């Protein structure tokens, strides 16, 4: 199995959880935190995307200024999609709604969620922090408090000490492939940066990511460049609406050309509202560890290789264990949807709620089984899905 760079969160940190090409599948390298550097934008030659990823540069906090007033952010471009709109006007209108979030270990980006200072960002941007500093397009920096976070979807809310902020419109309908897209954020510490492209794909999952993360599934793909530091920033359509929150990218060292990924705005809004109401977000829990069904594993199990997800472990007290699913079982489908990869299973579970009953087609040796499992709420700390 050869080593290679792979999909990366767009917040940068020295630590990397894993990066491999194996059996043709790309395994996500999930690095978090900051690229070292001096205050302000780092020297590009001193930073690279090899084996380091997501978000970005350490910075010295600037003095906070007085709070300014804000209005509802609007688009300023007509049309449903192409890059033929008034891009400078879009950037001018939306930049006040996108912020930079500074932590002890680095920085990321964020998007205004409400005019009273609530900021939406990625969980990995603020992980380990209770207070942060929030930088605005007008140069003001204020203190921010981490209000709530959800590691499963990699989303978090920060309360900044500033009001009158321009809240953008969050478009919860998915965009169409081919529509124009703008990415706003602070890549590599260069604050208030805009990049442009199109929507390249929908419902994308990063192959191989399930072993490290639950969040890299059902994403929007764009060729608008996303780099370390963009994490938590906005992906915007040509009407000036937020359609996604920047999440990850695959670097050129992996052979990629402009492969970036974002959490759909619908997911971001649903989770944000749940975090506001309850302080936590609930997710359907099956209670097993899924793995790729390789030819080698199929041979060890004595079954014919094919589509399916192998159960590496099952919590005996979880929904899967109680339903009779065992380690070594192969989940072939869930509610009629073929399970081709562990990431597909996670994406299907993302659509379900605690309390739902789901049916699986299961292969166990030479047996074909139909098993129903009653999903529960995901425990606060668990290694199974």
Q: Which domains does the chain carry?
A: 8-278 (2.40.10.120), 284-377 (2.30.42.10)
Q: What integer is the mean pLDDT of 286-293?
A: 89
Contacts of 220 (CB under 8 A, 6+ apart): 174, 175, 199, 201, 202, 204, 235, 243, 244, 261, 262, 263, 264
d(CA 382, CA 320): 14
What are 321's two structure tokens? 């264990």
> Does the pLDDT at position 34 exceed 60?
no
The vertex-121 CA angle with 115 and 75, nearest 5°, equals: 55
Residue 158 pLDDT class (50, 70, 90 cuts): very high
Choice among 75-89, 119-133, 216-230, 321-335 with the minimum mean pLDDT: 75-89
Q: What is the pLDDT of residues 251-261, one digit of tens each?
A: 888 888 889 99
| Active centre residues (catalytic) | 124, 154, 231
In the chain, the percentage of residues whose pLDDT exceeds 70 is 76
Higher-confidence residue of 326 and 381: namely 326
d(CA 200, CA 274): 29
Euclidean distance between the first and the last CA atom of the chain, given in angstroms as a whole number: 26
Higher-confidence residue of 77 and 166: namely 166
> Does the pLDDT at position 323 exceed 60?
yes
d(CA 108, CA 106): 7
How many CB atoms are located within 10 Å of the residue 93 CB? 21
pLDDT at 88: 93
Choice among 33-47, 83-97, 371-385 with the minimum mean pLDDT: 33-47
pLDDT at 205: 83
Choice among 43-52, 79-88, 209-218 with the minimum mean pLDDT: 43-52
Ramachandran class of 52: left when φ > 0, alpha when ψ lies in -120 to 50, beta otherwise = beta
Supply φ then ψ for residue 276, to 5 degrees: -65, -40
3-class state of residue 16 by DSSP: strand
Higher-confidence residue of 307 and 200: namely 200
- CA-closest candidate to residue 300, choices 361, 360, 365: 365
DSSP strand pairing (259-264 vs 219-222): antiparallel
Choice among 152-161, 273-282, 304-313 with the minimum mean pLDDT: 304-313
Model confidence, pTM: 0.76
Choice among 67-76, 107-116, 260-269, 319-328 with the minimum mean pLDDT: 67-76
In the chain, the percentage of residues whose pLDDT exceeds 90 is 59
Residue 81 pLDDT class (50, 70, 90 cuts): low
pLDDT at 296: 83
The chain-wide mean pLDDT, for the chain, equals 79
d(CA 374, CA 307): 24
């Amino acid at each position: 199995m050869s080593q290679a760079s792979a999909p990366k969160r767009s917040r940068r940190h020295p630590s990397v959880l894993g990066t491999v090409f194996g059996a043709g599948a790309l395994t996500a390298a999930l690095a978090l935190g900051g690229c070292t550097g001096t205050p302000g934008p780092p020297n590009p030659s001193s930073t690279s995307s090899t084996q380091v990823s997501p978000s970005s540069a350490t910075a010295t906090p600037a003095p906070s200024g007085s709070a300014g007033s804000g209005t509802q952010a609007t688009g300023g471009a007509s049309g449903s999609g192409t890059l033929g709109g008034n891009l400078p006007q879009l950037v001018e209108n939306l930049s006040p709604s996108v912020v930079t979030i500074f932590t002890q270990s680095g920085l990321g980006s964020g998007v205004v969620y409400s005019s009273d200072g609530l900021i939406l960002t990625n969980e990995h941007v603020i992980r380990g922090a209770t207070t942060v500093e929030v930088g605005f397009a007008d140069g003001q920096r204020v203190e921010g408090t981490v209000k709530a976070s959800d590691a499963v979807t990699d989303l978090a809310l920060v309360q900044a000490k500033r009001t009158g902020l321009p809240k953008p419109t969050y478009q919860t309908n998915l965009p169409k492939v081919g529509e124009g897209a703008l990415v706003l954020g602070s890549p590599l510490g260069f604050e208030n940066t805009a990049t442009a492209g199109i929507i390249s794909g929908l419902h994308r999952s990063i192959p191989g990511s399930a072993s490290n993360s639950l969040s890299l599934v059902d994403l929007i793909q764009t060729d608008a460049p996303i780099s370390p530091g963009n994490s938590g920033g906005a992906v915007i359509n040509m009407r000036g609406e937020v359609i996604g929150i920047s999440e990850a990218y695959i670097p050129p060292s992996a052979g990629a050309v402009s492969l970036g990924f974002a959490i759909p705005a619908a997911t971001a809004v649903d989770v944000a509202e749940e975090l506001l109401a309850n302080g936590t977000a609930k997710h359907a829990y099956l209670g097993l560890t899924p793995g790729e069904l390789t030819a080698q594993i199929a041979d060890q199990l004595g079954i014919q290789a094919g589509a399916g997800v192998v159960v590496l472990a099952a919590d005996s007290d979880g929904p899967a264990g109680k339903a009779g699913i065992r380690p070594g079982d192969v989940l072939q489908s869930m509610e009629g949807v073929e399970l081709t990869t562990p990431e597909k299973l996670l994406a299907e579970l993302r659509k379900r709620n605690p309390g739902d009953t789901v049916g699986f087609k299961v292969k166990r040796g030479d047996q074909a089984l139909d098993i129903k499992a009653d999903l529960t709420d995901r425990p606060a700390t668990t290694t199974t899905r």
